[in-house]
Amino acid sequence: MELIDRYAHEVGQYLPSRLRADVEAELRSLLTESLEERARAAGRPADAQLAADVVREFGVPRDVASRYAPEPQYLIGPRLYPAYRTAVKIMIPVLAAVVLVLMVIGQFRHQGEPPSIALLIRATGSFLSTVLFNLGVMTFVFALVERAMHRREAGGPAWDPATLPPVNDPDRISYFGRIFALYVIAALALMFNFFPEWVAVVVFHNADSRVYPLLEPAFSRYLPLLNAWWALAFALNLVVLRQGRWRRATRWADFGLELFNAVILLLIFIGPPVFRYDLLIKVVLQWFLVFSAIKACVMLYRLLVRKTVEPWHAAAAK
Amino acid sequence: MVVGNTQPSLRDNLSLELRRGALVLAVLIELRHEEYGYSLKKLLADKGLDIDEGTLYPLLRRLEGQGLLKSDWRVEDGRPRRYYKVGAAGEKLAKELAAEWKKLAGVIGALIR
C-alpha cells in the first residue's frame, strides 16, 4: 500500500542513517499486517481509508521516530540552551565593539573621511557575515559539548554522594566560562588559519573603502605554535567540562598552557613585526605578557600551597 | 484526591506512567518464546494488555539496543518479519523485575484494601 510506504519512509527521515533502512522495512511489514487484519475485521479489501486509519493510530512520524532514536535529536538541549542564548547575547555587542574600534583606528591612522550611506550598508553586510561565522562556530561548540556531556552521563559510573563538593569549592567550574573559552579558541583558530584577511581594518574615503590587512607575512612563522596552543587549550577545556570540575592534573596542565602562552607572546614580542601597527600592538602584547606571567605565578603558588587532598576529592577521582 | 475531578489528560499521563514499567516486564516475559512485533501485540492484547503499536515496536528496538532482546529477519508467508526473543540478560532481568512486581503489587493491594 502506497500510504504505508510513504509513512515508513517519512519516519525513516527523522532517524539516524544506520537505523533507517531496517526500521523502515520492519514498519512496512508490521503496518501491512495490521492493515490486512483490519480489512479482514471490516469484511472488505484493504483500501486507502483503512490504511489512513492504521497510520493515524500509529502516530505522527516525527513522534514515532523519536521513540526509536536512542540519542538526543537536537543540537543544543534544554540544559545548555540558556547558556547558549546568553553567549549569543554577549557575542554580538562584543563583535560590534571590536569592529567599531578597528574602524576608528583605521580612520585615524589613514586619514579616512566620513563614509557614505552605501559604504555604511556594505560595512553592515560584512559585520553580519562576521556575526554569522561566529554564530556557526558557537553553535558547533555547544553541540559538541552537548554530545560530550550526554555520552559521559550515559556511560558514567553511578553517582556517589561522597563526590558532593564543599559549599566553598575552589575547584568548581563555570560551565558557561569553559564553553565560551572553547568558542573563542575555535573562532580564533579558524580565523587565523583560514581567513587571515579578515584580520584587517577598513578605511572609508568618502565614496570608497580600502581594506588594510593587519597581519604581516612574518605572522605565519608563529602559526604552528599558536595552532599547538589552541589544540591543547581546546582539549583541556573539553576534558575539564567532561570531568565537571578542576582536578590537580588539569590544574597543572592549565599552568603548563599558561607558560606556553607566555613563551609564544614573548617570541612574538622580541621577533620581527607581525602586525601592521607594530608599535601599538607591541604595547598591547606587553600588557598581555605581563598579565600572563603574573597569572602563571599565581597558578603555581596555588598549586604548591594547596597540597592536601580532601576526602571528597579522592572519591571524585575514582 | 477526588478521582472524579481529575483532568482527563492528567489521568491519562499518570496511567501511562503506571503502565510504562509494566510494559517492559510484560514484553520480556512474553518473549521467552520468539515473536514478531504484530504477533506479540496480539498475544498481549488477547491476555488483556492492549498496547499501542507506536509504543510497542520502538520499545522492542530499544530493548534490543540495551542487549535484553535478540532479533533476526525471516521470510514467512512471503513477508519479511523481524522475530524477537529474550536474551540471557533479558531473562535474568525479567526474573528480578517479576519479583519486584509481585512485591509491589502486594503492597499496593494491601494499601488499597
Residues A93 and A129 grouped into a single domain:
yes
> Phi and psi for A287 in degrees, rounded to 5?
-70, -40
A13 and A108 in a single domain? The answer is no
- Yes or no, beta carbons of A57 and B53 under 8 Å apart: yes
> Do A145 and A287 reside in the same domain of the chain?
yes
> Considering the domain boundaries, does residue A46 fall inside one?
yes
Indicate whether A73 belongs to any domain: no
* CB of A64 less than 8 A from some CB of B: yes
What number is the average pLDDT over the span A85-92? Answer: 90
Query: Of B38, B54, B81, which has the smallest distance from its Cβ to A64's Cβ?
Result: B54
Most confident residue range from A148-152, A234-238, A313-317, B52-56: A234-238
Interatomic CA distance for residues A236 and B70, integer angstroms:
40
Provide the Cα torsion A74, A79, A82, A87; round to 10°.
-80
Q: Are residues A45 and A142 in the same domain?
A: no
**pLDDT greater at residue A269 or residue A236:** A236
Structural domains counted in chain B: 1
Section B71-93 average pLDDT: 91
3-state secondary structure of A101: helix
Catalogue the long-range contacts made by A264-268 (C-beta closer than 8 Å, 24 or more residues apart): A264/A222, A264/A225, A264/A226, A264/A229, A265/A289, A265/A292, A267/A222, A267/A225, A268/A222
According to the model, what pLDDT value does residue A111 have? 65
Q: Are the beta carbons of A26 and B79 separated by less than 8 Å?
A: no
Task: Give which of A57, A51, A62, A48 is closest to A28, Cα–Cα.
Answer: A51
Report d(CA A210, CA A203) in Å as an integer: 5
pLDDT for residue A136: 93
Q: Does ipTM exceed 0.85?
A: no
Closest alpha carbon to A209 in A125, A123, A126, A108: A123
What phi and psi, each to the nearest 5 degrees, are found at residue A246? -80, 135
In this predicted structure, the answer to whether residue B3 has a pLDDT above a threshold of 60 is: no
Based on the fold, state whether residues A51 and A89 are members of the same structural domain.
Answer: no
Give the residue from chain A lying closest to B55, CA to CA: A67
pLDDT score at B1: 40
**Per-residue 3-state assignment (H helix, E strand, C coil) for A214-256:** CECHHHHHHHHHHHHHHHHHHHHHHHHHHHCECCHHHHHHHHH
User: Which residues in chain A touch residue B52, judged by CB atoms under 8 angstroms apart?
Assistant: 57, 59
As a whole number, mean pLDDT of residues A139-145 equals: 91
CB distance B82–A32 less than 8 Å? Answer: no
Per-residue pLDDT for A109 more than 70?
no
CATH number at residue B45: 1.10.10.10
What pLDDT, on a 0 to 100 scale, did the predictor assign at position A2?
A: 86
- Residues on chain A touching B80 (C-beta within 8 angstroms): 25, 29
Q: What is the pLDDT of residues B36-47, one digit of tens each?
A: 999 999 999 999
**Mean pLDDT value across residues A87-109:** 81
Whole-model pTM: value is 0.59
Same domain, A85 and A62: no
Residues A128 and A258 in one domain: yes
Whether residue A13 is found in the same domain as residue A107: no
Checking B19-27 for CB contacts under 8 A at 24+ apart, the result is: B22/B49, B22/B101, B23/B49, B23/B51, B23/B55, B23/B56, B23/B59, B24/B59, B24/B63, B24/B97, B25/B94, B25/B97, B25/B98, B25/B101, B27/B56, B27/B59, B27/B60, B27/B63
User: What does pLDDT average to over chain B?
Assistant: 88
Provide the pLDDT confidence category of residue A172 given band limits of 50, 70 and 90: confident
Query: Which residues of chain A lie closer than 8 angstroms to B55, CB-CB?
Result: 67
Q: Is residue A145 within 8 Å of residue A239, measured between CB atoms?
A: no
* Residue contact B54–A27, C-beta within 8 A: no
Strand, helix or coil for residue A281:
helix
Chain B contact for A26 (CB, 8 A cutoff): yes
Q: Indicate whether A143 and A64 sit together in one domain.
A: no
Confirm or reject contact between B101 and chain A (CB < 8 A): no
Residue at A76 is within a domain:
no
Mean pLDDT, chain A, rounded, equals 84
Which grid coordinates belong to A39? 480489512
Whether A74 is covered by a domain: the verdict is no
Assess whether A197 and A299 both reside in one domain: yes
A231/A175 same-domain check: yes
Look at chain A and report how many structural domains it folds into.
Answer: 2
Q: Which domain holds residue B98?
A: 3-112
Q: Is the pLDDT of residue B6 over 60?
A: no
Q: A253 pLDDT band (50/70/90 cuts)?
A: very high
- Distance of alpha carbon A34 from alpha carbon B52, whole angstroms: 12
Q: Determine, yes or no, domain membership for A203.
A: yes
**Least CB-CB distance to B81: which of A29, A57, A59?**
A29
Q: Are residues A17 and A164 in the same domain?
A: no
φ, ψ at B23 (rounded to 5°):
-60, -45
B54 touches chain A (CB under 8 A): yes
Lowest-confidence segment of A83-87, A114-118, A143-147 by average pLDDT:
A114-118
- Chain B residues with CB inside 8 Å of A27's CB? 57
Q: Could you tell me how many residues make up chain B?
A: 113
Q: Has residue A58 got a pLDDT over 60?
A: yes
Please report the pLDDT score of residue B109 as a whole number.
Answer: 92
Report which of residues A192 and A117 the model is more confident about.
Answer: A192
Distance CA A139, CA B6 (A): 43
Whether B55 contacts chain A with CB within 8 A: yes
Closest alpha carbon within chain A to B84: A26
- Please identify, among A33, A68, A103, the residue that sits at the C-terminal boundary of a domain: A68
Q: Which domain holds residue A184?
A: 81-317
Instruction: Inform me whether the pLDDT recorded for A112 exceeds 80.
Output: no
